[in-house]
């Protein structure tokens, strides 16, 4: 196929799109809605990831040490934990710092403070706050702590308690929620992509049906299948590209308005800022999706219903 034929196919496809009138407009509208749904799924995925990251950052395992444990022994355990690949951070809180934080939290509770003063000492333990790369890794961290030789000179473990048992159910639920969200997200994207192709397919089929006489004449004069299919594929690509451009333009005011109205709902997630910072990603996803949907739907419609 030489360049002249390719040029004619593009010109014919452009004219076909323009002559389509209401049908082309309807196809463009459906493509725009479809791509808007795809972009919404991108935003939803980003929002879920942002929310899950916040939740993950709030989940941890605290290791409390006996009052006889020295800072040197505690820092030795801290160094061992920081060497584990599944650990992202380990924060040390001394007994004195824990007491100061406790007094600050109960500044308005005089009875609690009086009871604390009557003890005549610091009843709180030094602790390590351990954060993992993934909530499912906390069990292995606890197993490591229980098996590690973190012993005092008297042979007793310097670890008093680990609060993993209290948080285990929450951590397990979070892990399941993260996995389920990812699986459901992929399923939704697949279903919408399939629905988009079917909708675009039905609309483009109508556009092809209106030109069936023209196609019959082209076949009578010996036009090849590729030459007949080409203009419709080009029209589908034009429709997809225009729909993508329209969605990209509309997303800025939409995200700005939605972000302004929902600023306090998503824990600091700004839709407009996310869109601007990931504009290239949205451009590639929407443009490639639009072109793919338009061309695939055109090919399927021509082959299946016009039997070219």
Q: Specify the pLDDT at position 248.
A: 92
Higher-pLDDT residue of 140, 268: 140
CA distances from 98 to 39, 95, 101, 102, 124 (A): 46, 5, 5, 6, 7
Q: Specify the pLDDT at position 12.
A: 65
How far is 96 from 100, CA to CA, in rounded Å? 6
The owner of tokens 């007793």 is 156
Backbone angles phi, psi at 263, to 5 degrees: -60, -40
Torsion of CA 16, 20, 23, 27, to 10 degrees: 40
Q: Specify the pLDDT at position 225.
A: 66
Domain at 67-157: CATH code: 3.30.70
Q: Specify the pLDDT at position 14.
A: 63
How far is 195 from 212, CA to CA, in rounded Å? 25
Q: Specify the pLDDT at position 116.
A: 64
Give yes or no for a contact between 151 and 144, defined as CB atoms under 8 angstroms apart: no
How far is 42 from 27, CA to CA, in rounded Å? 23
For the chain, give every domain's residue range: 3-55+174-305, 67-157
Q: What is the mean pLDDT of the chain?
A: 76
In 3D, which of 63, 80, 59, 60 has the Cα closest to residue 126? Answer: 63
**Whether pLDDT at 153 is above 60:** no
Q: Specify the pLDDT at position 18.
A: 66
**Whether pLDDT at 283 is above 90:** yes
Q: Which of 73-77, 92-96, 204-208 has the lowest mean pLDDT?
A: 204-208
> 3-class DSSP state for residue 106?
coil
Q: What is the pLDDT of residues 11-27, one digit of tens each?
A: 666 666 666 667 677 77
Higher-pLDDT residue of 75, 173: 75
Instruction: Categorise residue 109: left if φ over 0, alpha if ψ from -120 to 50, beta otherwise.
Output: beta
In 3D, which of 240, 258, 249 has the Cα closest to residue 279? Answer: 249
Say how many residues make up the chain: 308
The mean pLDDT of 143-161, rounded to a whole number, is 70
How far is 31 from 196, CA to CA, in rounded Å? 8
Statement: the pTM of the whole predicted model exceeds 0.85: no
Q: What is the pLDDT of residues 32-73, one digit of tens each?
A: 888 888 888 788 778 777 776 776 667 778 888 887 788 888
Out of 3-7, 103-107, 229-233, 234-238, the most confident range is 234-238
């Amino acid at each position: 196929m030489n360049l002249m034929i390719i040029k004619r196919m593009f010109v014919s496809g452009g004219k076909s799109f323009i002559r389509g009138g209401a049908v082309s407009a309807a196809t463009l509208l459906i493509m725009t809605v479809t791509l808007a749904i795809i972009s919404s799924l991108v935003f939803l995925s980003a929002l879920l990831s942002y929310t899950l990251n916040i939740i993950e950052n709030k989940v941890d395992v605290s290791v409390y040490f006996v009052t006889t444990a020295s800072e040197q022994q505690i820092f030795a355990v801290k160094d061992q934990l920081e060497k584990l690949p599944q650990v992202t951070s380990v924060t040390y809180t001394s007994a004195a710092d824990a007491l100061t934080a406790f007094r600050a939290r109960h500044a308005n509770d005089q009875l609690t403070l009086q009871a604390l003063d009557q003890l005549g000492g610091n009843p709180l333990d030094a602790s390590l706050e351990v954060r993992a790369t993934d909530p499912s890794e906390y069990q292995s961290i606890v197993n490591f702590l229980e098996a590690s030789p973190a012993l005092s000179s008297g042979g007793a473990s310097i670890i008093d308690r680990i609060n993993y048992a209290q948080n285990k159910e929450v951590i397990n639920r979070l892990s399941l929620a993260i996995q389920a969200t990812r699986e459901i997200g992929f399923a939704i994207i697949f279903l919408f992509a399939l629905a988009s192709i079917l909708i675009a397919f039905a609309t483009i089929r109508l556009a092809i049906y209106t030109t069936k006489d023209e196609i019959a004449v082209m076949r009578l004069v010996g036009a090849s299948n590729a030459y007949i299919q080409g203009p419709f594929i080009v029209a589908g690509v034009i429709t997809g590209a225009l729909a993508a451009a329209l969605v990209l333009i509309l997303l800025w005011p939409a995200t700005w308005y939605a972000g302004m109205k929902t600023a306090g709902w998503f824990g600091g997630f700004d839709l407009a800022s996310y869109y601007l910072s990931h504009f290239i990603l949205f451009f590639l996803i929407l443009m490639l999706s639009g072109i793919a949907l338009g061309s695939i739907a055109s090919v399927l419609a021509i082959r299946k219903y016009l039997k070219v």
